Amino acid sequence: MKLLILDRDGVINYDSDAYIKSVEEWIPLPGSIEAIAQLSKAGWTVAVATNQSGIARGYYDLATLDAMHERLRALVAEQGGEVGLIVYCPHGPDEGCDCRKPKPGMLKTIAAHYNVSLTNLWFVGDSLGDLEAAKAVDSQPVLVKTGKGEKTLGKTLPAGTLIFDDLAAIAAELIHN
């Protein structure tokens, strides 16, 4: 099985320090929907692991989050692809859960769902927490320069981190190699 795991905000859609609180605020980054559809059509399963502490903070509810994810699925389907499992951490940063990145709980959930090893599997994110979660389970950390990615470049990245401009560049790399 060819499995790719993506962070959501800053990788698939525009991010905001004020949180993405509604379907209207959930706006795909240029080329991201097409990239997911291309990967899907090329035999890749594309899963999503996303911190969503806005739920714990009361900024939006699960129904709104589900609606955002249905929008993502619908847009990718319009391009002939599909999105695999979407897992999210609804907890705040101080709740001590095992799922909030940089902890790798969501990645483990996805691996268990698909019955695959996380070793060397690509996890694409735009933050140091994403890259650290990948490294914690021997996955391949992949940084995109979208979202917080440009700022993250200025930090000490885990050894072996791959860097791409955006999700479209990753799709091109994986499909053509």
CB contact at 8 A, 166 and 144: yes
Report residue 95 as tokens. Answer: 């709740």
69 is in an annotated binding site: no
Percentage of the chain lying above the pLDDT 90 cut: 99
Predicted confidence (pLDDT) per residue in 46-92, tens digit: 999 999 999 999 999 999 999 999 999 999 999 999 999 999 999 99
Active site residue 61: no
Rounded to 5°, the CA angle 137-68-27 comes to 95
Total domains, the chain: 1
Closest by Cα among 90, 94, 89, 93 to 104? 89
Q: Looking at residue 177, what is its pLDDT?
A: 76
Instruction: Please indicate if the annotation marks 165 as binding a ligand.
Output: no
Domain residues for the domain of 30 are: 2-176
Residue 83 maps to which CATH number? 3.40.50.1000
C-alpha distances (whole Å) from 102 to each of 41, 88, 96, 120, 170 are 30, 13, 12, 17, 22
Is 9 annotated as catalytic? Answer: yes
Express each pLDDT in 109-135 by its tens digit.
999 999 999 999 999 999 999 999 999
Residue 94 counted as an annotated binding residue: no
